[in-house]
Structure 1
Amino acid sequence: MAGYDSKPKLLTVLINKDTLVSPRRRIPYGASLSFVLEPYLTQQMITYGAANSVTEGLTLFHLCLTTYYIFLFKLTQETDLCIGSIAAAKRDENSELQQVIGLLDSALFYRFKIDPTQKFAQQLLNVKDLCSNIHQNSTLPYEQIIDSCYISNQQQMQLLRNMFIFKVIDNNSTLFTRVPKDDADTYLAKYDLTLNVHYDKTNEEHSLSYSFQYATDLFQHSTIQTMSDRFHALLQQLFSSTFHREKQPIYELSILLPHEIQIYNELN
């Protein structure tokens, strides 16, 4: 983490500054906003990931994380990005403890320096390499990693404000692996902003759903709604348009919404 500015730049462009309060006075209530990816988009993503899984060792986790990095870059123009994620502790999946409490999780930091001039396919390979390097040290205790990087408690909290969680839901999943999906759900927000991606394999037609969980004292619902719409638009552009993932640089991607594109075209 050397050289990384731990100030939460990714979130400051989105936070409702009128309601910003001191961390000591915060009430960590949260809410969520979700969307389910269209079946044809889901199939496009699965097919693209599968086509590269054998030769490149890519997974759907790598693909989804890469799209989120690109989205955050387009949203904030930040190229040095740090996202927290959760690694499940290795344990016998059939153990009684596993069945009772689910996986024991540990936090990992995914710091990625994005190059806007690179093609999507190359960014994906870079993220895969990043994940491989991180997972080599995933068995180290979280406290040991923090101590070795000389990260203060305040910096830890700042680094863990933006999270990415990818979960596969199959017939063996328990309720402990699920998070609230209803937009009306209210609960304690462990992190300021979390993108949950659920890959549901319980039906013959697999599905991908996205859920933004956010702290309600920091973010307005309308802000997260717009953010969600922009991310959805980016996924549509990547996997259902003429954008060439192997030839076009990612800076050519857009997160403009349809009505914004219409206004832009009318002005030009």
Structure 2
Amino acid sequence: MEVFHHDLNQAYITGQLLYDDNTNLRYLDYAVIEQQMSMTGASMFWLDALHDCKLDQPLSLPFDRYRLSNENRTGRGTSISFDFGQDLSHDFLISASSNNISLEHFALATYYVFLFKLTNGEKDLCIGINTHGRYRDELNSIIGMFVNAIPLRCQIDPHLSFHKITKHVQDNMLNCMKYSYFPLQRILNQHPNISNPVFLDTSFDFISSITKDEENEIMIGDSQLSLLPFSIKISEDEIMSKFDFILSFQHDLNLNDFSCTINASLDLFNVETVCIIAERLQTMLHQQFTPFDCTTIKPIHELSLTLSNEQYLMQSLNNTQVSFSSSPLTCIHHEFVHQVMKHPPKLAVELDEQSLTYCELLYYVQVLSLHLLNKYHVVPGEVVCQCVERSLSMVIGIMGIEMAGGVYCPLSPRDP
């Protein structure tokens, strides 16, 4: 970058571009090389890599609304960022090092696992990514912009550990980068039935940068140039959205810290939804990489995106222990009869268009319990199984078995 800055400054001041044949630095039009390259191998690779991939089917992200096929993108988006903090950044670095994988590939694997959980278990994930075109070492010295967007497909096995997923993602990424020079339009031409390649709307980015302000500004002659920010604001609360959903990992090379930014289209997401998604990502990151909760060797399907307040709510809902005012030995059907005596005309159970009052429910329960006693001779403590769909009959069956003295055992009609 310093060499390029020097040459650009000299060209601006003198009007001439100095070129030294002895240096490895070359200024050329990459498109000339691209036109001379054989594309046969790349064509075969991408055809095989995307075989049976549903490129026109969007991921099942938690959208708040959907964009109609004839509806244009507004470009309005929102951006939510959070820092890893020193401890989590350290754990992230240690995990990447122990897996012998680059930070970019490690972050990409994390993104795939997050998408797997966020989409409720979608196993075939295809996203878009921009490549810098330096797929061979000898191209690193070329100055120029020859970015290409490519699809990155990852087929997830939920039973694999995150450690194994990272290896799979790394191998896949390296293979894709070998053929990243193959133009996106030619990749799409291999799938003529795909009219809307929506995989490009979900993207990933990894940025390594230095936080010093002066690194974002350079002087060319007497002119000061500044780098564009990652997110371009169009108002106080909105940014310009190029994608429907993009996760960007930022690595601060000075502090060796990490942060994440989620940019999402307001056409599809509410701001509150994006905030919750960011919180779920933080929750997963702590599960994966914090030593106390580390789950990198466990199957990824065991990871949870449940937030702490949601866990508390579920625990409170599942706390079904109730202390009755009467004797602690009171049975369920005794309490039921007690409620019938107190509120005979009140609604006891309702499902869709059907309902029963306490009095009506007691009648059907007594009929069933007498039937179990007289015909099937159910004795106290005998297990009685019930296989029935969710209905009023299910409630009648539960109470009837209890009233007959049996032990209720539910069976699923789908898997009895």
Cα distance change, pair 141–7 in 1 and its aligned pair in 2 (3 A):
closer
**Preserved CA contact (<8 Å) 2:208 2:252:** yes
What TM-score results when the alignment is normalised by the length of structure 1?
0.84
Residue 69 of structure 1: how far off its partner (Å) = 0.9
From 196, 202, 207, the counterpart of 1:155: 196
Aligned amino acid, residue 244 of structure 2: D
Question: Which residue matches 2:230?
Answer: 179
Aligned amino acid, residue 303 of structure 2: L
Q: Aligned equivalents of 1:133 and 1:5: distance in 2?
A: 20
Residue 15 of structure 1: how far off its partner (Å) = 2.0
From 279, 290, 294, the counterpart of 1:229: 279
Question: Which residue matches 1:122?
Answer: 164
1:5 aligns with 2:54: yes
What TM-score results when the alignment is normalised by the length of structure 2?
0.56
Q: Aligned equivalents of 1:27 and 1:49: distance in 2?
A: 38
Q: Aligned equivalents of 1:2 and 1:155: distance in 2?
A: 17
- Equivalences for 1:1-268 in 2 at 5 Å? 1-11=50-60, 13-17=61-65, 20-53=67-100, 58-76=101-119, 77-90=121-134, 95=143, 98=144, 103-150=145-192, 152=194, 154-156=195-197, 158-170=198-210, 176=227, 178-180=229-231, 184=236, 186-201=238-253, 203=254, 205-240=255-290, 241-246=292-297, 248-266=298-316, 267-268=318-319
**Preserved CA contact (<8 Å) 2:232 2:239:** no
**Preserved CA contact (<8 Å) 2:77 2:238:** yes
Q: Aligned equivalents of 1:108 and 1:260: distance in 2?
A: 37
Cα distance change, pair 245–25 in 1 and its aligned pair in 2 (3 A):
closer
Q: Aligned equivalents of 2:180 and 2:113: distance in 1?
A: 24
Q: Aligned equivalents of 2:232 and 2:312: distance in 1?
A: 32
What is the CA RMSD across the aligned residues, in angstroms?
Answer: 2.5
Aligned amino acid, residue 212 of structure 1: I
Residue 61 of structure 1: how far off its partner (Å) = 1.0
Cα distance change, pair 39–198 in 1 and its aligned pair in 2 (3 A):
same
Q: Aligned equivalents of 1:160 and 1:69: distance in 2?
A: 15
Aligned amino acid, residue 14 of structure 1: P
Question: Which residue matches 2:385?
Answer: none
Structure 2, unpaired ranges of 5+: 1-49, 218-225, 320-416
Residue 244 of structure 1: how far off its partner (Å) = 3.7
Residue 218 of structure 1: how far off its partner (Å) = 1.4
Cα distance change, pair 36–51 in 1 and its aligned pair in 2 (3 A):
same
Aligned amino acid, residue 262 of structure 2: F
**Highest CA radius of gyration, 1 or 2?**
2
**Secondary structure at 1:30's aligned position in 2?**
strand
Q: Aligned equivalents of 1:219 and 1:263: distance in 2?
A: 24
Give the fraction of aligned pairs with identical amino acids, expressed as a percent. 26
Aligned amino acid, residue 209 of structure 2: I
Aligned amino acid, residue 2 of structure 1: H
Aligned amino acid, residue 274 of structure 2: I
Q: How many residues align?
A: 251
**Secondary structure at 1:160's aligned position in 2?**
helix
Structure 1, unpaired ranges of 5+: none
**Preserved CA contact (<8 Å) 2:99 2:163:** no
**Preserved CA contact (<8 Å) 1:181 1:211:** no
Residue 176 of structure 1: how far off its partner (Å) = 4.0
**Secondary structure at 1:256's aligned position in 2?**
coil
Q: Which has the higher contact order (CA 8 A, sep 6+)?
A: 1
